[in-house]
Amino acid sequence: MVEEIYYMNQQSSILSQISMVTANYGEGLVFADIINDWFNFLGGKPGEVVIVDCGSNRETQTVYWKMFQEGLINKLQLIHPDSDDFGKDKGYIKEYTAGAIASKPYLLVFKSDTIPYRQGHDSWLEEAISYLDRDDVFAIGGSYNLPSKHHDAWPGWYFSHKCSYNFALMKRSTFMAAAHEFANTFILSGFKGENPAAATGQDRYFIEVAFEHYIQRHQVYSLIKVEDQNWTVFHTNTHGERLKQIREKYLAREDIERFMNAGYSDEEPEPAKALYYGLPPEEVGLMKKLEGVCKVVMKQVVSASAESLPCR
């Protein structure tokens, strides 16, 4: 009984130091359920939940407002359609903003099409937080759909050179340092200047590009927990009714084994072979081909010093 009380107090103390943040577009049908899945994954509601919207419809806004009134969202930022940075294509501004307005020392960044699951593994969060003090750890991450292993860590964990906004746990100070080292002038301009990520053809993925530049520059890594039947984080890349159906299958643990630990390999990644739970391989292949065409067009436009086009 004493040990149980100690654990509960320790868990509450850790949760109180975490801001769970996202930039979100749509998904009103399942958004509240996905948030609850993340609460279950963490072991309770964290100290702060920050939602910065990219221009969702009224249905989703109504869901936000209800959750805000119930205390499930602590900070909520909406955007009017006549704003300069309205829309999903400017979501990178909201991704930065969500972290910037958070007030806790740790951030858990996530996306609403990424679903966690946990049974047991009760000490995972405390363990993960402790690893963030290591000099070689940039973030705790996961949810990768392609090989992304850099090198082994210790049993149950490995290091990666990737870091995704779909799921990452990091110090807020690290989040801010990565963003400002990469694009301080762009950020201070109110995102009106040149987006440094446009040169890579990934202007919409500004924050992730900033993360990976920081990882390379400082020779640090994401630390990834090896998934098992009772601990997984899947980026589904599905939306609306399809996401709702996929979530139900996922929580029922249907056909999850072949999607686990997709990143736990140092093989050369092939985008057309990405594993998305709920998406058939042929659909993933088509999606990646279209993405490749878009990137080629983007590079041509950037090289001509024209306005960059959004991809994906």
Mean pLDDT (whole number) for 179-204: 94
Span between the terminal Cα atoms of the chain, in Å: 51
Let me know the angle formed at the C-alpha of 164 by 159 and 167, rounded to the nearest 5 degrees: 90
CA distances from 177 to 21, 171, 174, 184 (A): 17, 10, 5, 9
Going by the DSSP 8-state scheme, the letter that residue 119 receives in this structure is: S
Calpha distance 83→260 (Å, rounded)? 40
CA distance 298 to 302: 6
Q: Which domains does the chain have, with CATH numbers?
A: 2-303 (3.90.550.10)
Band the pLDDT of 80: cuts 50, 70, 90.
confident
- Which residue from 218, 208, 216 is spatially nearest to 183, judged by alpha carbons? 208
- Answer yes or no: is pLDDT of 103 > 90: yes
- By the 8 A CB rule, do 221 and 159 touch? yes
Residue 3 confidence (pLDDT) above 80: no
Element (H, E) at 170: strand 167-171
Q: Is the pLDDT of residue 301 over 50?
A: no
Q: Give the residue-averaged pLDDT of 285-301.
A: 46
Q: What is the mean pLDDT of residues 111-121?
A: 98
What is the per-residue pLDDT for 107?
Answer: 99
Mean pLDDT over the full length of the chain: 89
For range 150-179, the mean pLDDT: 98
221 vs 135: CA distance, rounded Å: 10
Provide φ and ψ at 114, rounded to 5°.
-115, 125
pLDDT in tens, 7-54: 566 778 999 999 999 999 999 999 999 999 999 999 999 999 999 999
pLDDT at position 274 over 80: yes
The residues that bridge with 222 in the sheet, in sequence order, are 139, 160
Q: Above 90 in pLDDT, residue 135?
A: yes
Q: What is the pLDDT of residues 214-257, one digit of tens each?
A: 999 999 999 999 999 999 999 999 999 999 999 999 999 999 99
Nearest to 141 by CA among 159, 118, 120: 159
